[in-house]
Amino acid sequence: MTMKRIFKPNFKKAENAAIELHSIAKTKELPVKVRKMDKFFDDLTIKKYSWYAKEWEMTLEEVIEYLGSDEGCCFYLKQFDSYLILYNENIDTNERIRWTIAHELGHYMLKHNTKSKRAILGRGGLSDEEYDMYEKEANCFARNLLAPPVAVTNLNVFSTDSLIHICKISLEAANNTYNFYDNGFRMGKTYNTTSKIGRQFSGFLNKVNNNKRCDNCEMNFSIKNSNYCVVCGSGNISHNYLIKGEDADMIYPGYATNGNHKPITCPRCENEEININGNYCSTCGFYLLNTCTNNLHDQSCTDDPMPTNIRFCPYCGAQSTYYYNGLLVNWEQIKFPERNKEDPFASNNTPIYISEDELPF
Ligand SMILES: [Zn+2]
Ligand SMILES: [Zn+2]
Ligand SMILES: [Zn+2]
Ligand SMILES: [Zn+2]
């Protein structure tokens, strides 16, 4: 008597394999850099179909025919005991390419080639049940890799739209992912940020969940409990989950620092010999850290140093010490430079652009 093998996808295993890959890659933010995942393994290389075509002097059509897929494949090379993930870079969207690579990484991480004893996983030679099992596991893996549940379900805005923009996945994948995690919630599943994988994404979650965008000056910044725009002082700020906003975001310059909000040169007298331990300029005596002026008056607000481009306190809306002392120009002069061409009182103080990393907090 022969026993019929039962092929049932193991979703828990696929989910854990994605967590394992995030742990190996020390992923801290989204979107996940799937194309670069091969650098963490000695036996894995990720290449485009065009590379393979050139290498073997084949046409793209021949590559598709040979690999049995017009999207991608995970190829086990027995002679080298290593894996080659190939993806068709001509697929119409970047989002679909990302999913394909993540899916193939699933086959790699879950050792499907070994299990199926196939150099290339394909329908050929496998029963439908067995093939479908590998495919379902690889898709589950891809979902958990590109949209880690602990990261996306703990976003203030968990929606199909936020999944599309934050995870860089297609609308179809975002819909499926959203419904899948949402069903999980209904069944009592929780994704705790205190887990190991949760802690990996905690900085990212803080940043996204506290991110605001000003409707007035279009500044994008991430400060917890902020009530006012740090550049124009407007209370008209709204939550915005796109950290590095799109092109519409304005960059408002401040002064170059050595990383702890302390400027490299004194913004008032341009003295370069700033004592790293002291907070006052040794030449003109200026307090070098940008803080809330309300705190200077009556200690009613925070004395935390703020980035050097901040003009208004995010908590109370008072002017910052830099802005109060005329060291930063009004936001409108940056947003609408053509307006102050004829203005004889416009500041001729040209602030230094600070690095991307310092903007905003
Ligand atoms: Zn597959
Ligand atoms: Zn503003
Ligand atoms: Zn000075
Ligand atoms: Zn304040």
Q: How far is the CA of 310 from the centre of ligand 1 (A)?
A: 50
- Predicted-assembly ipTM surpassing the 0.90 threshold: no
Q: HSE of 163 in the Cβ direction (CA atoms, 13 Å)?
A: 27
Q: What is the pLDDT of residue 345?
A: 52
At 2, the pLDDT band (50, 70, 90 cuts) reads low
Cα–ligand 1 centroid distance for 266 (angstroms): 59
Measured distance CA(75)–CA(85) in Å, rounded: 6
Kindly state the average pLDDT of the residues 24-51: 97
Ion ligand 4 — residues with CB under 5 Å?
Answer: 292, 294, 301, 313, 315-316, 318
Enumerate residues with CB within 5 Å of ligand 1 (an ion). Answer: 138
pLDDT at site 250: 76
Q: pLDDT tens for residues 151-168?
A: 999 998 899 999 999 999
Q: Tell me: the pLDDT tens digits for 213-237? A: 898 998 888 888 999 999 999 999 9
Cα separation, 256 vs 309, in Å, equals 9
What is the CA(84)–ligand 4 centre distance, in A? 56
Can you give the pLDDT at residue 233?
95
Q: Which ligand is nearest to the CA of 287?
A: 3
Ligand nearest to the CA of 332: 2
- C-alpha 299 – ligand 4 centre gap (Å): 9
In the reported structure, the alpha carbon of residue 312 is separated from the centroid of ligand 4 by a whole-number distance in angstroms of 8
Burial 123-157 (b: 16+ CB within 10 A, else e): eeebeeebbebbbbbbbbbbbbbbbbbbbbbbbee
252 Cα–ligand 3 center, Å? 23
Q: Which-ligand-closest: CA of 108?
A: 1
Structure tokens at 56: 């073997």
In 189-312, which residue ranges form alpha helices assigned H by DSSP? 196-200, 202-209, 293-298
Question: pLDDT tens digits, residue range 63-107?
Answer: 999 999 999 999 999 999 999 999 999 998 999 999 999 999 999
Kindly report the average pLDDT of the chain as a whole number: 88
Which contiguous run of DSSP H or E holds residue 181? helix 171-186
pLDDT of the residue at 182? 93
Q: Give residue 126 CA to ligand 3 midpoint distance, Å.
A: 75
116-120 average pLDDT score: 89
Residue 268 or residue 44, greater confidence = 44
Distance (angstroms) between ligand 1 centre and the Cα of 313 equals: 52
- Report the pLDDT value the prediction gives residue 90, as an integer from 0 to 100: 94
Task: Report d(CA 334, CA 252) in Å as an integer.
Answer: 7
Distance 311 CA to ligand 1 centre (A): 53
| pLDDT at position 341 | 60
Q: Ligand 2 mean position to 230 CA, how many Å?
A: 6
- Structure confidence at residue 50 (pLDDT): 97
Least Cα distance to 322 among 356, 294, 288 occurs for: 288
Query: Given CA atoms 247, 252, 257, 260 in this order, what sign does their dihedral have?
Result: negative
Percent of the chain with pLDDT over 90: 61
Please tell me the predicted confidence (pLDDT) of residue 357: 46
* pLDDT tens digit sequence for 260-313: 888 988 998 887 766 656 888 888 889 999 999 998 777 788 888 999 999 999
* Sign of torsion over alpha carbons 142, 146, 150, 156: negative
Specify the pLDDT at position 281: 87
pLDDT score recorded for residue 296: 77
Q: What is the mean pLDDT of residues 56-63?
A: 96
pLDDT score, position 121: 82
Could you say which ligand is closest to the alpha carbon of residue 311? 2
How high is the pLDDT of residue 355? 45
Distance 284 CA to ligand 3 centre (A): 4
Question: In this structure, which residues have their CB less than 5 angstroms from ion ligand 2?
Answer: 214, 216-217, 219, 229, 231-232, 234
Contact criterion met (CB below 8 Å) for 264 and 256: yes
Q: How confident is residue 125, by pLDDT bands cut at 50, 70 and 90? A: confident
Instruction: Give the Å distance between the CA of 81 and the centre of ligand 1.
Output: 20
Give pLDDT, residue 251.
Answer: 82
